[in-house]
Amino acid sequence: MNKKDMKIIDMHCDSMIECWRHDERSLRSGKGHLNLELMQKNHGMCQFFACYLSRIEMKTMDPYDLFHKIYGCFKEEMENNKDIISQVYSAEDIEKNVEKGMLSAFLTIEDGVFVDGKIERIQEVYDLGVRLITLMWGYENSIGFPCFDDPKENAQGLKPFGIEVVNKMNDLGMIIDVSHMSEGGFYDVAKYSKKPFMATHSCSKALCGHKRNLTDDQLKVIGEKGCIAGVNFESSFLKEGSEYATIDQIIEHLRHMTDKAGINAIGFGSDFDGIDSTGELVDYSGFTKVLNAMEKYYTDDEIDKITHENALRVIKEIIGK
């Protein structure tokens, strides 16, 4: 793969749980929104692969056990595809893979429910190679609260244990992801974290009032604190009442979010294989369409910031190198 073509760092997808759920679905050429062959053909550099702790499986399985099941699938996929992708733990690792024309896999966990009040579990998953935790999903856990439509509920902040988790992740050099988190929890992370953080897959609330989106003030904080927010390709986050995602909707959110947070604070978090409809994107190949559309509004240097340089910078500031 030509390293000059490698541009996209996508900060969130749910592809790994789909590989685990369906034995016939390989990461290399599977029929989901994302696979390695599509990444190679459409400017892929690094994919954040979430171990998504789904409530469907949690009806019959402990979330910590579920993580280990998906983790095992991830390691198997890395071994099966080691000719084109390898797991990375830092920005330096990503850059080394680019020099070799290799794709990079960055392992994350979506939903801190697995921690269950046991701080030692943060160290355990770090030792397994996890470098980012999305603290919340749609339900309260031992760390804090998810986002709500009700302003009073949405104002709930981190629990005391959640502050302990933030400190532990800071000490380890582990990325804190505030997507899905209550507004109060967001501001608590901004208050207590000694390092930047990410909102890996969230759009603009000013453009679309979905509870999962970020207000202009939150975007301002993200910019001021050297953080990054990744535009999500889910249609219900892009435009209220929209049946499918369009390239224009994505560009509109990019432009608004770069205006409010700054050009250095925005990236991509597609949520591929975790969204209902990919619309005009179709699948990972849609990144090429987005890049082409961005050329009307951004310089080449600005496009490089949004596609990968901003994410690399934040990773370096949190993890080192």
To the nearest 10 degrees (0 to 180), the angle between helices 247-261 and 216-224 is 60
Distances (CA, A) of 279 to 40, 83, 200, 286: 21, 31, 21, 9
Q: Is 239 helix (H, G, I), strand (E, B) or coil?
A: coil
To the nearest 10 degrees (0 to 180), the angle between helices 120-127 and 160-172 is 30
Q: Which two tokens stand for residue 207?
A: 């453009």
Q: Which two tokens stand for residue 139?
A: 């339900």
Using CB atoms within 10 A of its CB, is residue 266 exposed (0-12), middle (13-18) or buried (19+)?
A: buried
Question: How far is it, in rounded angstroms, from Cα 291 to Cα 269?
Answer: 14
Using CB atoms within 10 A of its CB, is residue 49 exposed (0-12), middle (13-18) or buried (19+)?
A: buried
Distances (CA, A) of 153 to 6, 139, 143, 255, 315: 42, 12, 15, 30, 31
Question: How far is it, in rounded angstroms, from Cα 78 to Cα 106?
Answer: 11
Residue 1 is predicted with a pLDDT of: 62
Residue 5 is predicted with a pLDDT of: 86
Residue 72 sits at φ, ψ, to 5 deg, of -60, -40
pLDDT mean by block of 10 residues, the chain; 321 residues? 84 97 91 96 98 97 98 98 98 97 98 98 98 98 98 98 98 98 98 98 98 98 98 97 96 98 98 94 97 97 98 97 75
CB 138 within 8 A of CB 55: yes
Half-sphere exposure of 241 (CA within 13 A, CB side): 0
Question: How far is it, in rounded angstroms, from Cα 189 to Cα 183?
Answer: 10
What domains appear along the chain, each with residue ranges and CATH number?
Answer: 3-319 (3.20.20.140)
What is the rounded radius of gyration, in angstroms, for the C-alpha atoms of the chain? 18
